[in-house]
């Protein structure tokens, strides 16, 4: 015989649309969930009181035609893709109309690092993880000084934040930085479309005066291939970087006793790349993307880093020329865009991938040892290994599609990775790559 239904239910931990009056009257800036009275339990679990901050975009009420007020906002935004599909959604963050390339990211955490990664310039980032915003935003997780991406596309926007480092909600953060966001859209269906058809140009708009046909025309006319995006994210002048990884996050205990001077070309460099190099004993001078190679060589550095960055490597011939003038003279390390520029500088070719690699869970095999790392990746272009000259060796491959993920050329004193060894966000498996660069500079000193 079936057990009788429970007569006492646990208190709700979320706002319910079944009770519009109570939801609409809640304080939009803070919310306290009280612990239940003694004896009220479900499944034997204890319910503890939690203080949280409500995300205002989800809580906003909507007024419909009959002037009745609803507790949740209605769809007020559209994503129109170049294939003609139109996706209705709800907006948060900034308003307006924006066009960009749509890519999906499979990371489970780290949306703030993704928002501030300059490599996403010119792109809308769709998060495949459905629940975004629950940890809020804090000033410590920034990967650059601003957001460069075109917009954020998510399934569910958390109605509250709960994290000990949280300083503001995701929506507040996006509004301050004039970044558009949409939620309550079928991100799974869009991801499947991108995997099948490849990356698509899209238009995000909250402007109801524009027709779907007008937005579609914008998407079809906009191009990202062949566009120099690096010039929009690089620094204006050289500067010194000295910050290390904070001691509470440092996982490498054997710090180097030697100091190395590294010049880092800023093609869209992330802060944590520089923090990791500094933690390995490097003094870093950062220079703009168009800084002459002769001025860098005059500094007599121990090594040069060619950083990550956005867009098509074939669209920045000035950067390829710079790499050509430096490679072979001193040790160099290329990451992501830097890896692609090295490939072109050696005479190789790059190509645009179907939908790229974006996420913190890509398996990479080091062909020298057979070791497999789970890596953090963000790129839409790759090096064609068949086009490389004799002497250039493929050291790593992406196990999802066997694409080139790393190079070395001992005679030319170079190494490069297509992915992000600093992994912010992502696992720390590949941090040893910085140690390899240190050894390369040590060998060149002796």
Q: Which residues are catalytic?
A: 336, 420, 422
| b (16+ CB within 10 A) / e for 147-179 | bbbbbbbbbbbbbbbeeeebeebbbbbbbeeeb
β-sheet bridge partners, residue 102: 124, 200
Q: Which two tokens stand for residue 219?
A: 């998407």
- Strand 282-288 and strand 414-417: the pairing is unpaired
Distance (Å, rounded) from C-alpha 106 to C-alpha 129? 7
Could you report how far apart the first and last alpha carbons of the chain are, in Å? 82
Q: Which two tokens stand for residue 315?
A: 């669209």
3-state secondary structure of 182: strand
3-state helix, strand, coil in the chain (%, to 5): 25, 30, 45
Distances in Å between the alpha carbon of 151 and those of 24, 43, 75? 28, 41, 17
Spatial contact of 74 and 62, defined as CB atoms under 8 Å apart: yes
Sign of CA dihedral 40, 45, 49, 54: negative
Spatial contact of 229 and 196, defined as CB atoms under 8 Å apart: no
Distance (Å, rounded) from C-alpha 406 to C-alpha 334? 9
Query: Which of 171, 182, 175 minimizes the C-alpha distance to 77?
Result: 182
């Amino acid at each position: 015989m079936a057990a009788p239904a429970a007569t006492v239910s646990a208190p709700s931990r979320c706002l319910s649309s079944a009770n519009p009056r109570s939801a609409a009257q809640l304080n939009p800036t803070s919310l306290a969930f009280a612990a239940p009275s003694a004896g009220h339990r479900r499944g034997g679990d204890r319910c503890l009181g939690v203080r949280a901050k409500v995300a205002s975009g989800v809580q906003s009420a909507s007024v419909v035609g009959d002037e009745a007020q609803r507790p949740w906002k209605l769809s007020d935004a559209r994503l129109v893709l170049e294939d003609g599909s139109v996706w209705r959604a709800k907006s948060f963050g900034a308003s307006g109309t924006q066009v960009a390339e749509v890519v999906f990211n499979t990371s489970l955490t780290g949306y703030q690092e993704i928002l501030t990664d300059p490599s996403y310039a010119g792109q809308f980032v769709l998060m495949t993880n459905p629940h975004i915003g629950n940890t809020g935003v804090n000033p410590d997780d920034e990967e650059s000084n601003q957001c460069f991406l075109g917009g954020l596309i998510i399934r569910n926007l958390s109605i509250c934040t709960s994290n000990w480092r949280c300083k503001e909600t995701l929506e507040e953060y996006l509004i301050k930085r004039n970044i558009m966001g949409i939620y309550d859209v079928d991100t799974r269906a869009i991801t499947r479309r991108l995997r099948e058809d490849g990356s698509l140009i899209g238009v995000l708009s909250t402007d109801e005066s524009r027709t779907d046909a007008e937005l579609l025309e914008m998407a079809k006319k906009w191009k990202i291939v062949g566009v120099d995006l690096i010039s929009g994210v690089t620094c204006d002048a050289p500067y010194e970087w000295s910050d290390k990884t904070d001691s509470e996050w440092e996982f490498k205990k054997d710090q180097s006793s030697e100091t190395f001077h590294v010049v880092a070309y800023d093609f869209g460099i992330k802060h944590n790349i520089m923090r990791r190099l500094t933690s390995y004993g490097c003094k870093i001078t950062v220079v703009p993307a168009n800084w002459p190679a002769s001025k860098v060589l005059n500094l007599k550095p121990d090594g040069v880093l060619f950083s990550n960055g956005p867009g098509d490597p074939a669209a920045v011939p000035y950067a390829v020329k710079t790499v050509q003038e430096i490679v072979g003279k001193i040790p160099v390390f290329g990451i992501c865009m830097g890896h692609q520029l090295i490939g072109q500088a050696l005479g190789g070719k790059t190509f645009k991938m179907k939908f790229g690699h974006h996420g913190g869970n890509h398996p990479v095999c080091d062909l020298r040892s057979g070791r497999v790392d789970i890596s953090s990746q963000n790129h839409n272009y790759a090096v064609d290994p068949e086009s490389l000259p004799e002497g250039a060796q493929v050291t790593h491959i992406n196990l999802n599609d066997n694409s080139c993920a790393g190079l070395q050329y001992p005679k030319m004193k170079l190494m490069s990775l297509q992915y992000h060894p600093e992994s912010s966000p992502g696992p720390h498996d590949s941090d040893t790559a910085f140690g390899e660069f240190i050894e390369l500079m040590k060998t060149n000193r002796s």
